[in-house]
Amino acid sequence: MKTIALTCIFLTFSLAFSVSFAVAANEQGFVPLLVPQPGVSWFENGKPLNGWVKRGGDATFTVEGDSLVGKRGPGVNTFLCTEKRYSNFILKFDVKYDTECNSGVQFRSDVRSKDGKELLFGYQCEILPEKDTANIYDEHRRNRYLIPQTPELQTKIDQVFKKDGWNEIVIQCVGTSIKTWLNGEKITDFNDLESNEGIFGLQVHSGEQGQVRWRNIQIKELPPTPWILLYADKKFGEVETKPVGKWEIQDDGSLRGTTEEGQPKDGMLLSKESYKNFAAKVSFKMITGNSGLYFRAEEVDKPYWLKGFQCEIAVGGDTAGLWEVQGRGWVAKNVELAKEKYKTADWNEVGTVAVGDHLTTFLNGWTIVDIDDPSCAKEGKTGLQLHGGGNQGCLFRDYYIMPLNENAVELIKK
């Protein structure tokens, strides 16, 4: 796999404007992210000009007409990066190869140093002749495509990619939802929990040759959808504990929940609010027994306290499976993948995204369940379970929720 450093694009001047989630990508509301100006340098002595800074290698960026041209230079991958950070947005631009090469656009990305060189890490919208353009690669982080490179996907990209002409790419990020289009054809549509904001960047990949140009770089900034604290670092958010079980804050800030042998009831760390559409995530380390991340659940006068969905927290193959308490039981799971990605005697992260009937679960950055379930509950509370019926122990940290309002959901579903 080639090392692909994605570079990102940001506003070259400060603009104050308000936008609505409900505005589609081809309607008004976009502003230029970069306005090429002949004779104007984009960087000087390593210092940013017009909100941009060059990082990494020594590729050059020049203006020709209405285009910004990136040409390969000495050293590692080069990125023309924005200083400003973005969360939710619709970004669109045209791209064309003068000389066939490897390129990309970083988004929701960050910079870190390695061996004295600056690297970008985070999401990259791949720009490669034909097969992978508009797929998403997780650069210098998980180091893999987030949508499998199937023959069907590659055929779709090959059919719409213009090898000798301009290609329009659109990237939409709303909460955990990421979508891309290539010349009007949707290429990716998925959820991911890894990062919610970051910089943009334009990449010129290292190699023996390469020249790529961009034009019509425009962005529509959308209202943010921040993660809201439920529990992290000895701090409680909008949660309450049910009377069964014991919750203790550890020296490292994590929360230990235990129930005693023979206790028939479940204990709960339960949200005060109910949620319809949202993402939720928590890190855990299993000591004994099993647990669960409840969502769209309602309180009932039963030993298990809640009725509804549970993203399973366990050891191995059941982890991140969907179990419906006082309902259908197992709705979906992926035993082999969960076994492979589960970290024994270590911290693991599970999460879920619920938008309408679409339910997705995650384990350590991998999608475990991704289904449409018309029979699912549409609203309810989220909570962490202390399983009854035996000796139970689990450590929790970084428990967050990201509510999604109706405008955000409308755009995600398009």
The tens digit of pLDDT for each residue in 182-228 reads 999 999 999 999 999 999 999 988 777 789 999 999 999 999 999 99
The H or E element spanning position 411 is helix 406-413
What is residue 37's predicted lDDT score, i.e. its pLDDT?
66
What is residue 202's predicted lDDT score, i.e. its pLDDT?
94
- Regarding whether 404 and 324 lie in a shared domain, the answer is yes
What is residue 191's predicted lDDT score, i.e. its pLDDT?
98
- Asked whether residue 13 is assigned to any structural domain, the reply reads no
Alpha helices in 82-233 (DSSP H): 151-160
- Asked whether residue 2 is assigned to any structural domain, the reply reads no
- Asked whether residue 23 is assigned to any structural domain, the reply reads no
Residues 45, 170: Cα–Cα separation, whole Å:
33
Arithmetic mean of pLDDT, 395-409:
97
- Regarding whether 244 and 172 lie in a shared domain, the answer is no
Arithmetic mean of pLDDT, 4-9:
34
Residues 179/147, Cβ–Cβ less than 8 Å: no
Q: Is 38 exposed, middle or buried (0-12, 13-18, 19+ CB in 10 A)?
A: exposed
- Regarding whether 243 and 111 lie in a shared domain, the answer is no
* Cα 86 to chain centroid, rounded: 13
Separation in Å, CA 381 to CA 262, 270, 308, 314, 397: 27, 7, 9, 21, 19
- Asked whether residue 119 is assigned to any structural domain, the reply reads yes
For 356-371, the pLDDT digits (tens) are: 999 999 999 999 999 9
- Regarding whether 341 and 307 lie in a shared domain, the answer is yes
CATH number where 134 lies: 2.60.120.560
- Regarding whether 207 and 80 lie in a shared domain, the answer is yes
- Asked whether residue 12 is assigned to any structural domain, the reply reads no
- Regarding whether 68 and 44 lie in a shared domain, the answer is yes
- Given 194, 222, 250, the domain boundary residue is 222
- Asked whether residue 68 is assigned to any structural domain, the reply reads yes
- Given 188, 222, 256, the domain boundary residue is 222
- Regarding whether 212 and 244 lie in a shared domain, the answer is no
Residues 105/6, Cβ–Cβ less than 8 Å: yes
Beta bridge partners of 296: none
- Regarding whether 183 and 71 lie in a shared domain, the answer is yes
- State the residue range of the domain holding 56: 31-222
Residues 341, 186: Cα–Cα separation, whole Å:
29
- Given 207, 222, 237, the domain boundary residue is 222
Residues 99, 368: Cα–Cα separation, whole Å:
40
Instruction: State the average pLDDT for the chain.
Output: 87
Q: Is the model more confident about 351 or about 71?
A: 351
Arithmetic mean of pLDDT, 18-35:
58
- Regarding whether 187 and 323 lie in a shared domain, the answer is no
Q: How many domains does the chain have?
A: 2
pLDDT(9) > 90: no
Tokens for 65, please give them. Answer: 């007409």
For 40-65, the pLDDT digits (tens) are: 555 444 444 567 888 888 888 888 88
- Regarding whether 259 and 151 lie in a shared domain, the answer is no
Residues 98, 287: Cα–Cα separation, whole Å:
57
- Asked whether residue 22 is assigned to any structural domain, the reply reads no
- Regarding whether 145 and 120 lie in a shared domain, the answer is yes
Q: Extract the runs of DSSP E, i.e. beta strands, from 140-249.
A: 167-174, 177-182, 185-191, 199-204, 211-222, 228-232, 235-236, 239-241, 246-249
359, 381, 348: which is closest to 176 by C-alpha? 359
- Regarding whether 193 and 275 lie in a shared domain, the answer is no
- Asked whether residue 26 is assigned to any structural domain, the reply reads no
pLDDT(6) > 50: no
Arithmetic mean of pLDDT, 270-282:
97
pLDDT(136) > 60: yes
Percent of the chain predicted with pLDDT > 90: 65
